């Protein structure tokens, strides 16, 4: 039985994963919307097997892109999914029941099981890792920021118990590829702040802070949050995550150097 809810999936070159994502909600959600960031593979063709609401829109700023996608919904309740996420029967049943109850809350968080390959990372802060995924479209929006946008919600947020499946990383190479992309965006964010307020940027993003966060992230994930219980995979997940801040700082340092050269040349 279909329920009055819109599933919104943001994609780009996801032909290897989009089918399983859409299969997990097909026949359950009354509306499926796919917003594709100009894929060059068969993503849109596969998505067309499940929905006639396929939009092509180049992602400019992540928060803005997501807000635009949610605005296309025909229903009040929106479930936001990425192509690497899957709903389980238990989660669909729980969502169906909660929506039927016409809750007074504006949103729900959903726990996620994060996978590295076919291995479920249960420790190191990887689970339950609840995410705000289900919301009333007129009560929720993302900050229009390029990286790590903040969530703005009007009203209360409740929490679901059943988890969704999140095939986060195909392998270690995929982990590093995503880390590389995310740290580039993070460095660009700090460069924009540096252009506006150099003193504030240098205070918050410097080598001392980067090194401190590098060690702190690893110790929190691997020791305090027991990432060691996931064995070698847990060690690598904690190590790669700890590289985020120091790698972002290194890119920021390079970008700042190029900016200084450009300004000196113009003078």
State the Cα angle at 100 between 92 and 90, rounded to 5°: 20
- Which of residues 147 and 111 earns the better pLDDT score? 111
Indicate the DSSP class of residue 39: -
Helix axes 172-196, 231-266, angle to 10 degrees: 30
Indicate the SS3 state at residue 134. Answer: strand
Distance separating alpha carbons of residues 264 and 241, to the nearest angstrom: 36
| pLDDT tens-digit series, residues 183-193 | 998 999 899 88
| pLDDT tens-digit series, residues 35-79 | 999 999 999 999 999 999 999 999 888 889 999 999 999 999 999
CATH architecture of the domain with residue range 3-169 = Alpha-Beta Complex (3.90)
> How many helices and strands (H and E) does the chain possess?
8, 13
């Amino acid at each position: 039985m279909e329920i009055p809810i819109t599933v919104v999936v943001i994609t780009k070159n996801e032909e290897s994963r989009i089918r399983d994502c859409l299969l997990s909600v097909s026949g359950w959600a009354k509306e499926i919307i796919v917003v594709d960031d100009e894929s060059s593979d068969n993503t849109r063709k596969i998505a067309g097997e499940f929905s006639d609401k396929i939009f092509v829109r180049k992602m400019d700023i992540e928060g803005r892109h997501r807000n635009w996608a949610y605005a296309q919904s025909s229903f009040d309740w929106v479930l936001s999914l990425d192509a690497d996420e899957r709903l389980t029967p238990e989660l669909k049943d729980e969502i169906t029941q909660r929506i039927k109850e016409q809750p007074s809350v504006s949103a729900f968080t959903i726990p996620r099981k994060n996978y590295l390959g076919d291995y479920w990372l249960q420790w190191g802060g990887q689970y339950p890792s609840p995410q705000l995924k289900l919301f009333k479209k007129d009560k929720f929006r993302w900050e229009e920021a390029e990286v790590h946008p903040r969530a703005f919600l009007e009203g209360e947020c409740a929490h679901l118990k059943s988890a969704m499946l999140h095939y986060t990383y195909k392998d270690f190479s995929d982990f590093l590829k995503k880390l590389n992309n995310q740290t580039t965006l993070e460095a660009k964010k700090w460069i924009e702040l540096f252009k506006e307020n150099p003193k504030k940027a240098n205070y918050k993003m410097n080598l001392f802070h980067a090194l401190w966060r590098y060690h702190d992230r690893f110790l929190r994930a691997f020791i305090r949050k027991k990432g060691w219980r996931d064995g070698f995979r847990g060690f690598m997940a904690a190590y790669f995550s700890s590289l985020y801040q120091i790698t972002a700082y290194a890119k920021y340092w390079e970008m700042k150097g190029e900016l200084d050269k450009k300004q000196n040349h113009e003078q």
